Amino acid sequence: NWNMQAFELGYGDLLGLRLSTAQILFRAAVRMVSSHFGRRDERYVPLKTNIAKSAYFVSRYRNYEAEQQRPEFKNTEDRLLKSLNERSRGLRSFRSGEGALRDIVEYYIEESDSIYDIAVAITNLGDWYTMFDQRNPARDRYTQAWQLLSPLDNSEELIQQLFGQVAPIPTFGKAVNLEKASSYDPELEGLRSAYADVIFDVTANGSVRNLRISSEITEENSRLLSQLRRKVRNSSFRPLVVDGQPVISRGHQFRYRYWY
């Protein structure tokens, strides 16, 4: 968790090594928990979730492959792998996250009596495919989750919770209380913040379209709002699902906080 927090704060020269270290440690922890306590242990799903989270960060970190070629990166990674008796090195971001989320789906199918928990796990896997523009697998998972919920007595309420509004993804990134790893507060660094209201459409594939900022744009904030616009435009969202199918939806308004 410390390594994940260090990456998010930009602490250190080799940020990619933070992600690699976190992933190796999470994998070793999963292996030990599974071996000594079984998959029913309460730590199993959060650990798998964080494997997916670290893989997601790798997919968004442009310098990872370049850093991976540096000798100090490889040497540190090799020492850690050897100390934990781990054989696998390197992060294949898509496959690593997909595998972890598939394992979570399997866990809930085999261990949980809650149809809703199974549907959430399947939806998270669909979100993963959406983030990587795997449109058919994403649609299939959303449809599968919707079909699981539709026969239930309170299906309308549960479907509304899961698919009744678009949601920025990944949603699984908050599984662990990473804020406990640091007392970092941007305000303590002398930064100020402001808010901007952004309106946009979300396609059936989870992409942002027709984005516009409804907050006042001034000479002072125009550059920051341009950066925010690019960030939102490149974001992925879980689309609305109607009658089991993802659909385009329009006019969503979100409020974003930005620092300067």
Per-residue pLDDT of the chain (260 residues; tens, 9 = 90+): 999 989 988 888 899 999 999 999 999 999 999 999 999 999 999 999 999 999 999 998 999 989 999 999 999 999 999 999 887 765 678 999 999 999 999 999 999 999 999 999 999 999 999 999 999 999 999 999 999 999 999 999 999 999 999 999 998 755 433 334 444 555 556 778 899 999 999 999 999 999 999 999 999 899 999 999 999 999 999 999 999 999 999 999 999 998 88
Residue closest to 225 by CA, chosen among 247, 195, 252, 191: 195
Residue closest to 45 by CA, chosen among 229, 76, 205, 53: 53
Q: Which residues contact 244 (CB under 8 A, 6 or more apart)?
A: 142, 143, 146, 147, 150
Rounded distance, CA 205 to CA 248, Å?
A: 8
Q: Do the beta carbons of residue 120 and residue 214 sit within 8 Å?
A: no
Q: Do the beta carbons of residue 238 and residue 164 sit within 8 Å?
A: no
Rounded distance, CA 14 to CA 203, Å?
A: 36
b/e map 72-111, b = 16+ CB within 10 Å: ebeeebeebbeeeeeeeeebebbebbbebbbbbbebbeee
pLDDT (0 to 100) of residue 90: 59
Rounded distance, CA 231 to CA 60, Å?
A: 12
pTM comes to 0.88
Rounded distance, CA 214 to CA 136, Å?
A: 34
* Tokens of residue 12, six digits: 């250190």
pLDDT (0 to 100) of residue 73: 93
pLDDT (0 to 100) of residue 167: 94
